[in-house]
Amino acid sequence: MGLRTILLSSMLFLLSGCWTDDPTQHNTFIPLTSIEVRATYQSMADKTVNQYTAIGDFSGSFTRDITGEVSWVIENNTVAEVSNAAGSEGLVTALSPGETSITANYEDLSGSGSVVVTDAVLTGIEIMPQDAELQVGITQQFEAAGTFSDNSVQDITMLANWESSDMNVAAIDNAGLATTLASGSTTITGAWQNIESGTLLTVTDDTLNTITITPAEATIAQGTSQQFKAEGSYSDGTVMDMTDMVDWQSSDNGIGIVYSDGLAEGIAPGEADISASFDVGGDTVSATALLTVTDTVLQSIIVTPENSTIQVGQNQQYTATGTFSDGSEQDLTRIATWLSTDDTVGIISNSSFSRGLFISTGPGTTFIEAFFNGIGDETLLTVVEQ
């Protein structure tokens, strides 16, 4: 009895000290060798904002978003200004039409990009989501997409003034984040530059039963990402996209991290559970998906559709599909950098909610290019008159 107790206790004691938590520190020992400056929009309308991002390449070993670590400088401060304030680093505000350059400086390294401010004026606002039906206790991010006189589209969520017609049913803050308070209906309005748009928000008292994550299992290469979505099933049978409402967590941040919008990024080979949970009146409803990160290497990218033709005024969604060293394929649309070689024909979006979407502005031909980790592909697009 004695020896068995001793041995069992010893094993438990030893096992309790055999693992460590995941590291939280970034590697600053590998030198930063280059900085790439990316913009959400290639051009921006006057008085709008455009988020610029600095991506650091650390000796080819890895890349990391260093937007908050660099010092941002605009060449011509009469065209635009850039923020270096904590939380809004790299946010460019257009002051007057014109062109200038923006530089991200980090010690003795820098990376530059162009800032193009057009004289386009706002012609319409689209509020998303439209006619939402939510349950009590839910937060919903409303977004305002502004359409401008040059047919460009920009996110003006942060610029718009937001109002709820019935603050007892739902409240909304200056960033467009609504919180449902009681069953009923209210109109959510977003307004900017004397143009406003509204949408109906209906609040019900149904209860959340389950959450489902899709995909339930995902395999991605190290350094790439996977968008997870969470859907909630309510007592009345309705199913609602809760991707932006749930609390996303990874069981192992050393293998994969997941952001608040459900976008998971593969850090190192291995497996991690991705969970989504939602608190309803003290009760938590949750679900889990499996993320497998492999050490495969990106070998090529294919942009589709290839060699297509559209009419002026039409939009086209492009997809970037990566092929990896193990033969697997992965959708890289959301993480690739997109470029249209002739912006008189149209622009292609690099914004989070419309990445890869080409918006035509005039007739002609342009090459649509997508890049990721130094590998890219291009395809010809012809835009013809209607």
For the CB of residue 22, give the shortest distance to another protein in the complex, in Å. Answer: 8
For the CB of residue 70, give the shortest distance to another protein in the complex, in Å. Answer: 17
Residues that bind another protein (CB under 8 A): 2-3, 5-7, 9-10, 12-14, 16-30, 58, 61-62, 64, 253-254, 267-268
**Which is it for strands 153-155 and 256-258: parallel, antiparallel or unpaired?**
unpaired
Cβ-based nearer residue to another protein, 5 or 386: 5
113 bridge partner residues: 102
**Which is it for strands 217-221 and 283-294: parallel, antiparallel or unpaired?**
parallel
Cβ-based nearer residue to another protein, 33 or 161: 33
Cβ-based nearer residue to another protein, 18 or 85: 18
Which residue, chain included where needed, has tokens 């900017």? 192
Answer for the pair 73, 105: CB distance below 8 angstroms, yes or no: yes
Three-state DSSP at 222 gives coil
For the CB of residue 113, give the shortest distance to another protein in the complex, in Å. Answer: 24
Cβ-based nearer residue to another protein, 61 or 78: 61
Cβ-based nearer residue to another protein, 9 or 183: 9
Q: How far is 222 from 324, CA to CA, in rounded Å?
A: 11
Q: Using alpha carbons, select from 227, 287, 286, 302 the residue that is nearest to residue 259.
A: 227
Which residue, chain included where needed, has tokens 């697997």? 328
Q: Using alpha carbons, select from 62, 238, 244 the residue that is nearest to residue 140.
A: 244
Answer for the pair 61, 267: CB distance below 8 angstroms, yes or no: no
**Which is it for strands 283-294 and 357-360: parallel, antiparallel or unpaired?**
unpaired
Cβ-based nearer residue to another protein, 12 or 85: 12
Q: How far is 67 from 289, CA to CA, in rounded Å?
A: 30
Cβ-based nearer residue to another protein, 270 or 376: 270
For the CB of residue 270, give the shortest distance to another protein in the complex, in Å. Answer: 11
Cβ-based nearer residue to another protein, 9 or 284: 9
Three-state DSSP at 238 gives coil
What's the token pair of residue 294?
A: 């492999």
Answer for the pair 251, 107: CB distance below 8 angstroms, yes or no: no
Which H or E run includes 115?
strand 109-118
For the CB of residue 26, give the shortest distance to another protein in the complex, in Å. Answer: 5
Cβ-based nearer residue to another protein, 56 or 113: 56
- Amino acid found at 247: D
For the CB of residue 213, give the shortest distance to another protein in the complex, in Å. Answer: 24
For the CB of residue 221, give the shortest distance to another protein in the complex, in Å. Answer: 14
Cβ-based nearer residue to another protein, 33 or 96: 33
For the CB of residue 222, give the shortest distance to another protein in the complex, in Å. Answer: 8
For the CB of residue 34, give the shortest distance to another protein in the complex, in Å. Answer: 16
Q: Using alpha carbons, select from 188, 197, 178 the residue that is nearest to residue 126.
A: 197
| CA dist list (Å): 309 to 312, 315, 379 | 10, 11, 11
Q: How far is 265 from 167, CA to CA, in rounded Å?
A: 38
For the CB of residue 60, give the shortest distance to another protein in the complex, in Å. Answer: 12
Query: Which ranges constitute the DSSP H helices of the chain?
Result: 2-15
